[in-house]
Chain A
Amino acid sequence: MKNRRPRRRSALIRPLAIVLALFVLGLTYAALQPATQSMADGSKDQIAAGKALFTQNCSSCHGLNGEGTSQAPSLIGVGSAAVDFQVGTGRMPMANQGQQAPRKAGTYTSDETAQLAAYVASLGTGTSTPDSGQYNPAGLTDEEIARGGELFRSNCSACHNFEGAGGALPEGVSAPSLQGVEAIHIWEAMRTGPGQMPVFGQNTITDEDARAIIGYLTSVEAEPSGGLSLGGIGPVSEGFWGFIIGIGGLSLFAVWIAAKGARAK
């Protein structure tokens, strides 16, 4: 238990802790990749290491030079952000061929991910992995975070649900849950549009807006609730649990009330 008063401070503690962690993470990234813009170039060594990894693990689907095959799309010009997202969230390499790659524990270390990203970035210009200043929600005011909520509900909640729990799309595809996704990956998904997701470009959702959206998501996850959230998927689960706990539980009481009970003989 912890005291959250004053409200303003308390609500910021958790996001701040996360932000701090993200900041450290960002620093690690920054240390690995000196500058985002130049990252497209990457160091010679990095690209070489990335190419080796790529040839070994990715080329069977994406082609020897990332030109794509009938099984997987071309990676020329997708940029390092797409690679960081796909590999960093464990979506790539895919466990098995399917319509949609799920998030899972990553196969590669962050070093290896960066090498792969550098290699793919060298194939053609695309969106680069961001600076922490582009996605890190630290330092946002309450009003900015609230505006992030408005942006989230206008642009994202239709697919990803009001608290980011995810939702259904046609033909077996689904919009994944955003809970517990790292800030950088949310930014990268918006910019690169993985899978069926459309792109949300820098000129319509600026980095300021993206940070606000990420800030909102981080804060809303930390927001205390009025009891168990029952999956956070709205009235369907509420109705379900209402029947199970409410009607079910009260029926058990009713059985007890009407039961004759043990007799002495």
Chain B
Amino acid sequence: MIPVKEILLPKTVDEICRLLQNNNGTTKIIAGGTDIIPGFHIDSPRFVNADRLIDINRIDELKEVKVKDNSISIGTAVTFSEIISNPILKDKLPLLAKASKTIGSTQIRNRATIGGNFINNAPCADSVAPLLVYDAEIKIKSYTSEKIIKLQDFLVKPYGTRLKPDEVVTQIAIPVPSEKLKGDFYKLGRRRAVSISRISLAVLLDINDNVIDEVRIASGAVTPIGTRLFDVEKYASGKMYNDNTLREIAIKVGESILKITGVRWSSEYKIPVVQQVCYQLLKKIERG
């Protein structure tokens, strides 16, 4: 059942904020609709009271990708197809471009947006792990306020974020990563296309004179929500970059994930796979 009684098509962010004033949760924002509409069909409690939808696809400010002052800004309503075909993002944020390619199908990527992916915050949201390792921040506006917070602080639980009913996410801001940070993204699903992630991992490494200066690791799908593994990062930084260290990091990643999830029926096969994926990703960086 689609409960919607009204669809609004604002042209500016100010207009969105006005429409969201005093929202008691019955007004929802829609962009691609690829999560909301299937949500309606299963009478998801998140959408069952959505009387009024605000479509944000006609607002230039939310559709732009810009680079300014060493920061990349991506509008919340930029689609995954637009991310994949954007040469700046491909060059500066290759993990995000790679993850975006693995999402859904061409039809889904033509509608689904980067903002929708983390605002919906499904455990399997494929763009979240790359955004986390790139230290993404998000810009949130309401009629009376404007703030910037770290993505990792915004994400609370599966399908839950800190977004209040009167707020809209307008941009994602990512500091242009240092050229020295090398990395990769891997997604494991049950098939190659239109697949839901079972395990995803994003890794960035900065190696200087054979010493790991910095490492950033984030998991998706295998943890309840996309998560930066700071304890492993802390453990690894300053270590010599050699095969032994990579194995240790991979083992720690598995342990760290187990600490978050507890032992599940699937842990027995998922944890060794995560560890192997992590090892292979780190190893691949060495090979270039």
> A and B: real partners?
no
Chain B residues engaging chain A, CB cutoff 8 angstroms: none
Chain A residues engaging chain B, CB cutoff 8 angstroms: none
